[in-house]
């Protein structure tokens, strides 16, 4: 049986509209790219989780603002747990070109092997999977939010 997993995800963009993604290289599957974010801790709101994850994963202490999208996704976590994620998305724009990954957990340091800013045109044709699959449409739908 799948476990419920509330999660806050960040659509982190720069002024040029590029989006920040992390490259995951787990032991049990091919590498993939994903937006910053993660599970909501007990007693934490989605907004609080978004702010915490943003600081932990990027070093950026920014207000995540209001939730801009919600979706459900079934997947196998890096820890090997089958989950149904209730993902809430937050749109954040930053002028920072560099990020600070020193706040990553031990697990994140092991599997998150890189990061980069993607031009939107690069998303559809990228050789490795990008999650969420419809990231470009999600970005376009939240451009004015």
- SS3 for 78-106, per residue? CCCCEEEEEEEEEEEECCCCCCCCCCCCH
Quote the tokens at residue 55.
């600081």
> Helix, strand or coil for residue 16?
coil
Strand partners, 72: 86
Query: How do 112-118 and 37-39 pair as beta strands?
Result: unpaired
Does the global pTM surpass 0.85?
yes
pLDDT in tens, the chain (145 residues): 899 999 999 999 999 999 999 999 998 899 999 999 999 999 999 999 999 999 999 999 999 999 999 999 999 899 889 999 999 999 999 999 999 999 999 989 999 999 999 999 999 889 999 999 999 999 999 987 6
Which residue ranges form the domains of the chain, and what is each CATH number? 3-141 (3.90.79.10)
């Amino acid at each position: 049986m799948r476990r419920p997993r509330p999660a806050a995800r960040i659509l982190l963009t720069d002024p040029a509209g590029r989006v920040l993604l992390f490259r995951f290289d787990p032991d049990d599957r091919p590498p993939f790219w994903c937006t910053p974010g993660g599970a909501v801790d007990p007693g934490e709101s989605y907004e609080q989780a978004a702010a915490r994850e943003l600081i932990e994963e990027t070093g950026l202490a920014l207000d995540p603002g209001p939730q801009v999208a919600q979706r459900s996704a079934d997947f196998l976590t890096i820890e090997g747990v089958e989950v149904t994620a209730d993902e809430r998305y937050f749109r954040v724009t930053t002028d920072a070109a560099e990020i600070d990954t020193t706040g990553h957990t031990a697990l994140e340091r092991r599997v998150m092997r890189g990061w980069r800013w993607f031009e939107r045109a690069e998303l559809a044709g990228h050789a490795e999977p990008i999650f969420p699959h419809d990231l470009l449409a999600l970005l376009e739908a939240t451009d004015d939010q």
